[in-house]
Amino acid sequence: MASHTDAAILESWSRNATPWTSAVRSGEIESRTLVTNAAIVEAVRARAPRSGVDLGCGEGWLVRALPEVEMVGVDAIDGLVQQARAAGGGDFRVLSYEQIAAGELALSVDVAIANFSLIGHEAVDGLFAAAATYLRAGGTLIVQTVHPLMACGDAPYVDGWRAGSWAGFSIEFQDAPPWYFRTISSWIALFERHGLRVVEMREPLHPRTGKPVSLILAGVS
C-alpha cells in the first residue's frame, strides 16, 4: 500500500511536474478550463489586493493570470518552479510549507491563495498556523479545494487520508499522490482555529451538470 503522508505527496509531484505542466497549459483538465480557473481569479479580484502570494503555485498560471497584483509564487517542487520561471510573469521561489511555517517566506501580503494545493495534513495545519507571518493585518487567505460532497464518493464523510488517482489524465502520469480529505465543517474549523474568520464561501457549479465542482473559502486575519 502506498504511503499516506505529506512526504509521499511531494515525492509524487516531483515525479509528475512535467506532465502536470503540459496538462495545465494545454487545457487538458476540463473542470479547470470550464469552471475553477475563472472562479479562483474572480474570488481573488473580489478582494482587490495589491500584493499576494500563491501557495503551491505549480507551473505559475495563477500568478500570470493576476498581472495587476504584485504576486509571488512559491512551491516545494523544484521542477514546477523551474517551469514557472521559464514562462515568466512573476517572482517564483522554491519553498515548502514547512519552511513557510518556520517563517522563511518573509512577506506581508494582502492575499494568500491556495488553489487546489492543500492536499496534505500536518503541513497544511502548519501553513495555517503561520498565516500571521505572511498575511498583513486584515489580509485574506483564499482556498479553493475539491468540493467535499462531490469528492467523498462512497467513502464515509469523515476526515482522513484517501488514495490518489490520475484517472482521466495522460499515461505520462505515474504514482498518484495520496490526499487528506476534509469535510466542509473541518475546512471552516481549520480557518477559525488559526484566527482566520471565514467571510465568504463559494461553490462554483459545473455549467452542464449544475453540481458543485469546488469549494472556495476566504478567511480574514
Residue 145's closest CA among 31, 67, 46?
31
Place of cell 509524487: 12
Show Cβ contacts of residue 11 under 8 Å, excluding neighbours closer than 6 positions.
175, 177
pLDDT of res. 103: 94
Q: What are the cell numbers at 48? A: 482587490
Please give the DSSP secondary-structure letter assigned to residue 63: H
DSSP SS3 for 21: helix
Antiparallel, parallel or unpaired: β 135-146 and 214-220 = antiparallel
Q: Within the chain, which residues score under 50 in pLDDT? A: 1
pLDDT of res. 214: 98
pLDDT for 56-70, tens place per residue? 999 999 999 999 999
- Tell me the C-alpha distance between 123 and 180, whole Å: 11
- CA 78-6-71 angle, 5° bins: 45
pLDDT of res. 1: 40
pLDDT of res. 20: 85
pLDDT of res. 199: 98
pLDDT of res. 169: 83
pLDDT of res. 107: 95
Residue 221's closest CA among 42, 47, 36?
47
CA atoms within 13 A on the CB side of 176: 12
**Nearest 10 degrees: CA dihedral of 186, 58, 95, 144?**
-20
Antiparallel, parallel or unpaired: β 160-162 and 179-181 = antiparallel
15 CB neighbour count, 10 Å cutoff: 16
Antiparallel, parallel or unpaired: β 109-115 and 135-146 = parallel
- Tell me the C-alpha distance between 186 and 63, whole Å: 28
- Tell me the C-alpha distance between 167 and 173, whole Å: 9
* Domains in the chain, CATH or no CATH each: 6-220 (3.40.50.150)
Residue 57, φ and ψ in degrees, nearest 5 = -75, -15
Please give the DSSP secondary-structure letter assigned to residue 33: I
